[in-house]
């Protein structure tokens, strides 16, 4: 039979039980709406957390770590080879924290086609002087322009301008927690004490806040030149080299290669944030699981409605087969019914899901921990809508498959004889 005729019959059957059809379509619509809203919200939350942690973390960090020697001198002696050595109180290897030939290493990294950018850093432990009290802290000297280009540094400056760190000599961006403890404001002059006992005055150029309290209570930033001056080192003194790649998935392999090539310690972002990546994966998995469960529940509703329709329309099915409709034609009719419910329910679900997500995205969300966030995070990723549309059609097709198969096997002779 022609597709047009099959479609007309399917439409007549749908309208004959329009209330049940409407209920099934609403079930699909509700499932898709919540599926889209849930995934959009969880996607936005993951992006927010990525911005707090991953976006501020280099894909590869080169540095010199303090560690014990892998081989003790006694192990190198042929006389004691094969013996079990009892060695206690092993002292770490004495080596400088600065990276050897840091500037040439940075030049080599910048010429790598897989590297997006390189940013130097000079880190040192300090004490913030608050009257007679000293607070533990960490000051990092950065290349302001590179740090902002690669890691969106300026997005976390809540007071002042990040560029003032470069333009104003001997200036500092204080962490939010440090500034509160010191009652420091923009334009104030604070004093820090280095690990060697020397005091150094710095002018507050701004306030920096990551949203991670432990970091904001200790971390502050100065320019690379200021950090080198604080430590009394030359302009080639670099303790860390931060590398951002074009493809983050290459980080583990390149970190191992850089470790061997430059003879420094290297850690990749996957290793440094393994627990965070696991949390993101679990949140996404839960979101998809809940969404798919909603669609499956809606599918059972369609299955029950089509089953009831078949029992009530046995006479109609028998007549259709008696006048020349094949089992395949009857199967197509009920498949069209199921897919129609899925199509209309899915389309309205996608539209309502987008609308609900847009409403959530405009709800105010103010917290002192995240000053740059003004509304709830939402990710309008087209992939969510594609997955939702495909799932709605697949679920409704499977829900209609078995009822349509049962309808196609109806024997018209038995039905008509019974009547």
Q: Is the pLDDT of residue 418 over 60?
A: no
Q: Is the pLDDT of residue 73 over 80?
A: no
| Among the listed residues 406, 402, 401, 414, the one whose alpha carbon sits nearest the alpha carbon of residue 322 | 414
Distances (CA, A) of 182 to 160, 171, 197, 223, 364: 17, 16, 20, 21, 31
Is 86 strand, coil or helix? coil
Most trustworthy range by pLDDT among 7-21, 64-78, 134-148, 314-328: 134-148
> Please, are residues 141 and 223 in contact by the beta-carbon 8 Å criterion?
yes
**pLDDT score at 224:** 92
- pLDDT, tens digit (0-9, with 9 covering 90-100), for 80-103: 777 776 666 666 666 677 888 888
pTM of the model: 0.65
Q: What is the DSSP string of 367-415?
A: -TT-TT--B------HHHHHHHHHHHHHHHHHHHHHHHHHHHT--HHHH
Q: What is the DSSP string of 114-128?
A: TEEEEEEEEEEEEEE
**414: confidence class by pLDDT, cuts 50, 70, 90:** low
Most trustworthy range by pLDDT among 236-245, 261-270, 389-398: 236-245
Look at 197 and 238; give whichever has higher pLDDT: 238
Beta-carbon contacts of 11 under 8 Å, excluding residues fewer than 6 positions away, are 340
Alpha-carbon span 182 to 92, nearest angstrom: 35
β-bridge partners, 202: 190
| Among the listed residues 150, 153, 156, the one whose alpha carbon sits nearest the alpha carbon of residue 244 | 150
């Amino acid at each position: 039979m022609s597709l047009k005729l099959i479609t007309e019959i399917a439409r007549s059957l749908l309208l004959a039980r329009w209330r049940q059809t409407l209920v099934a379509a609403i079930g699909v619509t509700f499932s898709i709406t919540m599926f889209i809203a849930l995934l959009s919200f969880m996607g936005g939350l993951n992006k927010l957390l990525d911005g707090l942690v991953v976006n501020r973390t280099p894909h590869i960090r080169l540095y010199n770590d303090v560690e014990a020697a892998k081989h003790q001198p006694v192990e190198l002696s042929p006389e004691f080879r094969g013996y079990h050595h009892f060695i206690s109180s092993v002292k770490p290897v004495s080596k400088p924290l600065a990276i050897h030939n840091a500037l040439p290493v940075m030049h080599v990294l910048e010429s790598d086609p897989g590297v997006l950018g390189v940013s130097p850093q000079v880190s040192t432990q300090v004490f913030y002087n608050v009257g007679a009290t000293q607070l533990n802290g960490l000051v990092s000297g950065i290349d302001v322009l590179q740090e902002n280009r690669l890691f969106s540094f300026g997005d976390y400056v809540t007071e002042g301008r990040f560029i003032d760190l470069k333009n104003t000599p001997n200036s500092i961006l204080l962490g939010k927690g440090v500034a509160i403890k010191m009652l420091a404001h923009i334009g104030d002059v604070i004093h820090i004490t280095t690990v060697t006992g020397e005091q150094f005055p710095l002018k507050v150029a701004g306030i920096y806040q990551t949203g991670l309290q432990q970091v904001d209570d200790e971390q502050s930033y100065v320019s690379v030149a200021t950090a080198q001056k604080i430590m009394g080192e030359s302009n080639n003194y670099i303790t860390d080299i931060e590398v951002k790649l074009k493809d983050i998935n290459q980080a583990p392999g390149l970190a191992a290669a850089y470790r061997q090539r430059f003879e420094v310690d290297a850690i990749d972002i996957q290793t440094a944030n393994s627990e965070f990546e696991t949390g993101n994966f679990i949140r996404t998995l839960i979101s998809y699981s809940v969404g798919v469960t909603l669609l499956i529940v809606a599918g059972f509703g369609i299955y029950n409605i089509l089953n009831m329709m078949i029992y009530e329309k046995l006479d109609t099915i028998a007549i259709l087969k008696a006048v020349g409709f094949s089992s395949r034609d009857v199967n197509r009719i009920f498949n069209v019914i199921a897919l129609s419910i899925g199509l209309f329910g899915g389309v309205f679900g996608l539209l309502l899901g987008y609308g609900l997500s847009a409403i959530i995205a405009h709800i105010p969300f103010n917290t002192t921990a995240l000053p740059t966030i003004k509304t709830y995070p939402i990710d309008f990723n087209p992939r969510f809508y594609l997955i939702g549309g495909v799932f709605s059609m697949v679920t409704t097709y499977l829900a209609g498959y078995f009822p349509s198969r049962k309808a196609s096997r109806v024997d018209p002779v038995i039905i008509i004889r019974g009547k």
